[in-house]
Structure 1
Amino acid sequence: MKKLGHLNRDIARVLAGMGHTDSLVIADCGLPIPPGVECIDLALALGEPGFARVLDTVLADFQCERAVFADECRSHNPAVLDIAAGLMQHGVAVDFVSHAQFKQRCQEAKVIIRTGECTPYANVILHSGVIF
């Protein structure tokens, strides 16, 4: 049994296979999943597990160099905007794009991790950094 790192076997597999600049998405329960993009569905019930909790567990085991959020979170989801600010404080480059552009960029992701989050625009694209 794993002792450290992410315990979800599918997430651990994806993280282990990420290369520099590859991307993954952590999504609320309403974000559409593009055809051909793997979805790891963690949703149990509305709000469970939440976006912030899943993001924290992924970031504990993932080298992130850039994060992309929907611009609409600035006016519709202050909690997600606070998360973006926290990432910037930890040296992660943060970009904002329209929600339409965000959904297009999701097509390039290795995986979308679907949470039970049910607040608007609680989504992020994380781009892999390197540990050396």
Structure 2
Amino acid sequence: MLRGIDPVLSPELLRILRAMGHGDDIVIADANFPAESCAAELVRLDGLSAPQVTRAILSVMPLDDFVDDPVCSMAIVGDANTLPPVVALMQSVIDEVADKPAAIKPLERFAFYERARAAFAIVQTGETRHYGNLLLKKGVIASPE
């Protein structure tokens, strides 16, 4: 155990978050997401919800503020303008925890899969609510001087 580190962050996930560089993407995926076939690196956090994992990751990782869309979700097929309830919860977490909160941009399903395949890693949660998927782009931690 470490002080100040959310216990949701496993040693494997902490290693991945530390290894990621500015502009790298990490996906928080629901239980139905095809993570095994998409992931370069896969961390499983079965039993945890997507909002819980979002909160933990954003407690240690900054969002990229050099791009227009540092946070993306998978748009509902056939209804891209509707925000899924679980995504609304994740937006609340982002607004509360992120050092530079950003609005979640919906991506068409296959565009989301394409970005997920190119991501540094995928974290598969136990989230059972539909469309509980989020893509986060890592930002820069500013120098103290």
TM range (shorter): 0.7 to 0.9
Alpha-carbon offset, residue 81 of structure 1: 2.8
Gaps of 5+ in 1: none
Alpha-carbon offset, residue 85 of structure 1: 6.0
For the 8 Å contact 2:86–2:131, the answer to whether it is kept is no
For the 8 Å contact 1:68–1:97, the answer to whether it is kept is yes
Out of 50, 58, 69, the position equivalent to 2:73 is 69
Alpha-carbon offset, residue 74 of structure 1: 5.1
Percent identity, please. 26
TM-score by length of 1: 0.84
* Aligned residue in 1 for 2:90: 83
TM-score by length of 2: 0.77
Alpha-carbon offset, residue 93 of structure 1: 5.0
Gaps of 5+ in 2: 65-69
4+ runs of 1 displaced by more than 4 Å? Answer: none
- For 1:53, give the aligned amino acid: Q
Alpha-carbon offset, residue 23 of structure 1: 0.6
1:39 and 2:45 matched: no
The CA RMSD over aligned residues, in Å, is 2.2
Change (3 A) 1:94 1:28: same
* Aligned residue in 1 for 2:50: 51
For the 8 Å contact 1:29–1:115, the answer to whether it is kept is yes
* Aligned residue in 2 for 1:25: 27
SS in 2 for 1:103: helix
